[in-house]
A and B are shown apart, each in its own frame.
Chain A
Amino acid sequence: MRLPRLFRTTPFRLTLLFVALFAAAASAFLAYIYVATAGEVISRADARVSRELRSLEAVHNAGGQMALNQAVIERSSVDHPLLYLLMKPDGGMISGSIGASPIREFNGEKTWASFSLTSAQPGGGVERQPARGVEERLPDGTLLFVGADLSESEFYVSKILRALWGAGALMVVLGLGGGLLISRDVSRTIASLTHVIDRARSGDLNARAAVRGAGDEYDELAAGLNDMLDRLERSVGSLRHAGDAIAHDLRSPLTRLRARLEAAMIEADAGRTDAKAALHTALEDADGVLRTFNAVLAIARLEAAGDAPSQSVFDPSELAADVAELYEPLCEDKGLEFQLQAARDLRLNGNREFVAQALANILDNAVKYTPAGGAIMVRVRRRSSGDVEISVTDTGPGIAPEDRARVLDRFVRLENSRNEPGAGLGLSLVSAVARAHRGALEIDEGPGAVDGGGPGLRVALVFPTGGQA
């Protein structure tokens, strides 16, 4: 049989364990109190009895049996708290407040015993009262018994005992009750977290745990869970976004390719075009789609990966010199002055290929848009903050401030770029590369108008190096 859910919860089990431990400790405590109290009652009674016995012995020593008998009779007659019995050497009663000695096995000298006194009650019942006493044989052979009625003290002891038992029972009840309440509270909190996890597991990443604001560990747990879900949602979102972007980005060039093939087929059917030429154009279109696809995929992968893969330490100046060397002839052909300013002994940790591609893309734009007679400068330096900056400055038309954020989006091409080849993915990739290195891409104005040219453009890739050389 399964216990109800509440009783199976960890908090309830813990409560049960604690109640049990507490009850054990309390029992030991109660036992100690009882033993100590009861022992005290007996030793006090014994002390009183001993004192009385000594004083009666003194009476006997001074006045003999006659005086003792007198004293016993006197004390028995008044309502005295102690019990007396004076006996002949054979045990026969001489005088006293009880009829017979409660000591059954007298060992000849001085014998202590606990016993109960029975007395008939007016109602017909018999009352038993605890008592304790001592019997002694006096030098002349007479037996003297002195006892004390313990009922009064015993009454208090039993009262205390009852109170203790009551307290114990109350403690167990309160402990169990409290445990149940705590368990229910904890179970409810945990259940709400479990519910959130269940929802997330079934695909609902919007589910969030309620943070109660108590600042306790449940809030910490809930906040941690929420943070995890936030991250998960973001990364799933960016993956989905990448997938959507690829689908969207490829749809238009593929549609264009298809339309062109269809048109070519109609044209060829009508004998207006050579089918081979149409196929050739279609093939070029397909290559364009593939190039776009590769670029979009590279961007999407970089964006989804978080940090750039395959990182290594390299010299950014060397890399810039390499890429610059690739583009320098192009600049010369176009009548552009080219300059490379590279600081020495810089180190950068990153994906060399991606950084090279990013710089190539920036340079490619610079060469494309800077009119003949202009200049392009590639600069690699360490900023005072320790960050490494790779920048390309040109004397072209620049990008208006309001367009600077927009050009980083995929497929955005500004008005003046319509005549140049390209898909509008170059700077998107540069931006993705910067982000994959936890760096930044800065776009601002160049050196100002040169020979009737625009204000120019400065594009800088800034890589944090964490202060290392």
Chain B
Amino acid sequence: MRLLIVEDDALAAQAMITGLSEHGHQCLTAGDGEAGLKAAGDGRFDVLIVDRMMPRMDGIRMVETLRRDGDHTPVLFLSALGEIGDRVDGLNAGGDDYLVKPYALAELLARVEALARRREMGAVQTVLKVGDLEMDLIAREVRRAGVDIDLQPREFKLLEFLMRHGGQSVTRTMLLEKVWDYHFDPQTNVIDVHISRLRSKIDKGFDKPMLQTVRGAGYRLEA
């Protein structure tokens, strides 16, 4: 993937490049909003990683300008500001996701890949498919290898998210944010229990377990 990192802290940018390149992504950096805007206009990127507070032009203004110019490249905001209001500001400016500093590399990676995936999917889908697992979003039915699986509404939502990001790692924080819409850190890993329930429903009785735990990151739905 081609990623543009717009970040004024060179050390932080370097750490991101190291981590993201390790996973096969190509990274370019820009030191402030103006440079970022220029770089974004020059090359096609899959995802832009934009710091909020930068000299000359801050991230919010940069993304606003970008969106006004009709550029819809997914944007992941990075910020030390983690209040709900700040998050809303970032999303209103045209950001697609918001990650509060400091963050774990696994979290950044998972979110960047999720954003890129969302773009690939493009048009609205009514049926999701991962391996022999099938989800009908309109009839709200799930089937694996032709066998109906009965899911609670929240389990359905959880599986939908995992299926939309099939083959990708998703973190617990992402699940809590996107499936439950909570932005705090529950002390016990409540998510794990929900995952294990879902796992018992979709993997039980099948040879190949699909819902896998990714050490140090979260979970992945494998085809």
Contacts and interface: CB of A to CB of B under 8 A. Distances in A.
Interface of A: 287, 290-291, 294-295, 298, 301, 309-310, 322, 325-327, 329-330, 333, 351, 353, 356-357, 360-361, 364, 367-368, 421-422, 426
B67 interface: no
A361 B187 CA distance: 7
A298 B197 CA distance: 32
A360 B190 CA distance: 10
Contacts of B84: 309-310, 351, 353
Secondary structure class of chain B's binding surface, majority of residues: loop
A1 B195 CA distance: 86
B176 to A, nearest CB: 9
29 contacts: A291-B185, A294-B185, A295-B185, A309-B83, A309-B84, A310-B84, A325-B154, A326-B180, A326-B182, A326-B190, A326-B194, A329-B190, A329-B193, A329-B194, A329-B197, A330-B188, A330-B190, A351-B84, A356-B184, A357-B184, A360-B182, A360-B184, A364-B186, A364-B187, A364-B188, A367-B188, A421-B188, A422-B187, A426-B187
Contact of B193 (A287, A290, A333, A364): A333
A329 B197 CA distance: 8
B146 interface: no
Contacts of A364: 186-188
Interface string B44-59: 0000000000000000
Nearest to A365: B187
Contacts of B197: 329
The 4 closest A-B CB pairs, nearest first, are A357-B184, A329-B193, A330-B193, A364-B187
Contacts of B82: 294
Contacts of A422: 187
A310 B82 CA distance: 13
A294 B183 CA distance: 12
A290 B193 CA distance: 24
Contacts of B194: 326, 329
Contact of B188 (A325, A357, A368): A368
A367 B190 CA distance: 11
B216 to A, nearest CB: 8
Interface in B85-108: 85, 102, 104
Contacts of B186: 326, 360, 364
A76 B72 CA distance: 129
Interface of B: 82-85, 102, 104, 154, 180, 182-188, 190, 193-194, 197
Residue among A360, A364, A426 facing the most chain B CB atoms (10 A cut-off): A360
A379 B84 CA distance: 27
A203 to B, nearest CB: 29
Contacts of A368: 188
Nearest to B100: A294
Contacts of B104: 287
A2 B75 CA distance: 66
A353 B184 contact: yes
A363 to B, nearest CB: 9
A353 B188 contact: no
Contacts of A426: 187
Secondary structure class of chain A's binding surface, majority of residues: helix
B106 to A, nearest CB: 11
Nearest to A357: B184
Contacts of B188: 330, 364, 367-368, 421
Contacts of A360: 182, 184, 186
Contacts of A294: 82, 185
B187 A421 contact: yes
A360 B182 CA distance: 10
Contact of B182 (A330, A351, A353): A353
A294 B100 CA distance: 10
Contacts of B187: 361, 364, 421-422, 426
Nearest to B186: A360
A367 B186 CA distance: 12
Contacts of A322: 180
A433 B95 CA distance: 29
B171 to A, nearest CB: 12
A162 to B, nearest CB: 81
Contacts of B184: 298, 353, 356-357, 360
A351 B183 CA distance: 13
A368 B186 CA distance: 12
A327 B180 CA distance: 12
A325 B197 CA distance: 13
Nearest to B83: A309
B40 to A, nearest CB: 30
Contacts of A330: 188, 190, 193
Given A290-B102, A310-B84, A356-B184, 10 more contacts: A287-B104, A309-B84, A326-B180, A353-B84, A353-B182, A353-B183, A357-B184, A360-B184, A421-B188, A422-B187
A447 B61 CA distance: 56
A27 B118 CA distance: 94
B152 to A, nearest CB: 9
Nearest to A426: B187
Contacts of A326: 180, 182, 186, 190, 194
A394 to B, nearest CB: 15
A340 B183 CA distance: 23
Contacts of A333: 193
Nearest to A286: B102
A294 B101 CA distance: 10
A295 B185 CA distance: 9
A258 B9 CA distance: 24
Contacts of A421: 187-188
A295 B82 CA distance: 12
A360 B188 CA distance: 10
A426 B185 CA distance: 11
Nearest to B192: A330
A322 B190 CA distance: 13
